[in-house]
Amino acid sequence: MKIAIVGLPNVGKSTLFSAITKKAVDCANFPFCTIDPNVGMVEVPDYRLEPLSKISNSGRIIHTTIEFVDVAGLVRGAAEGQGLGNAFLANIRDTDAIVQVLRIFKDDDIIHVDGAIDPTRDMETINIELALADMAIVTKRLDTASRQLKSGKSKELELLLNALERAKSALEKGEQLRDLEWGEDELKEMKSLSLLTLKPMIYALNVSEEQLQDRPQTTIDDIARLGRVASDQIVPICAKMESEFIDMSQEEKKEYLESVDQTQSGLDQLIVAAYKSLNLITFLTSGEMETRAWTTKAGSSAPQAAGVIHTDFEKGFIRAEVVSYQDFVDNNGWNGAKDKGKVRIEGKEYIIKDGDVVYFRVAT
């Protein structure tokens, strides 16, 4: 899973990136400080792995990961090349989802590119630039597809043309493409275009510690009224506080969160939002060699989930032995769960659930 972090200059993108990936990046107080995208991998925290590992006496624990891409600050006119726009927009295309950082906190020592704090204006600026960038791609591809159609019709080409015409019409109205209903065949034809407004969007409201405790509901309501797509996620997060977690122990981090009436870090909330936006779940494997988390699409069949581990596993799938995480823990592992009848034998039609502990039987 690859997620872009975008926003205007000096809204806290690089501070957030540095905090959640524990990777030092340049966070100087001036626009376009970040030119090339910073890329960092972060482990997805999962409380289930350690108990499973202890029960299975595993040699190692392997978390699933998210790749975050910190893209330099966008400005009004980026789609037309203003600032360092086009290069930055290109960096967003190769991602699965977008986290848009909106500055809520006030600090006279940190300049704002537009001179004043206004998250709804900032969101509109970024979304317009993403839509304009998509419009350029859609218009160009529509022109090419129309010429191709004259050379000979095909079902795929006609499907693409209809989808592109719908997309162009929506973008001209200022709509985000992810808010439209698309058929699977349409999305398949448009996938190669990597359209930005089709990607899931998560709004990270960069707040102060005081605002985090107050929960800036007014700002959330304002953003919703501005035309936010219903499926978009909103996560209030204090990037400054997240950066202070870097040198803390887990116990210190827990106490800090409790002091500001929080149960989860901003990173944890972003990950939950990302999984929800991308319709993902986690299944688990556990044995003496390793205990590991795997990510798959919700609704994946057992063979499809096996294919996440290795492509050959999907082809050679025979059956899956499945037990819920809680039953695995309550019965002290595979043997105990089998003795109590908690392990199920599932075939090709079984749909994997979040938290399933699975052992796949495959033909070799």
Model pLDDT, residue 77: 55
Model pLDDT, residue 16: 85
Q: What single letter denotes the amino acid at residue 41?
A: M
Mean pLDDT along residues 285-290: 97
Query: Following DSSP, what letter does each residue of 117-150 receive, concatenated?
Result: --HHHHHHHHHHHHHHHHHHHHHHHHHHHHHHHH
Choose between 247 and 359: higher pLDDT.
359
Model pLDDT, residue 80: 52
- pTM listed for this prediction: 0.82
Model pLDDT, residue 31: 44
Say yes or no to pLDDT of 222 above 80: no
Q: For the chain, what is the mean pLDDT?
A: 84
Is residue 313 very low, low, confident or very high in pLDDT (cuts 50, 70, 90)?
A: very high
CA-based nearest residue to 66, from 93, 38, 42: 42
Say yes or no to pLDDT of 32 above 60: no
Choose between 166 and 84: higher pLDDT.
166
Say yes or no to pLDDT of 34 above 70: no
Choose between 125 and 72: higher pLDDT.
125
Mean pLDDT along residues 76-80: 51
> How, if at all, do strands 61-62 and 291-297 pair?
parallel
Q: How many CB atoms lie within 10 A of CB 303?
A: 22
Choose between 360 and 240: higher pLDDT.
360
The percent of the chain in helix, strand and coil, each rounded to the nearest 5, is 45, 20, 35
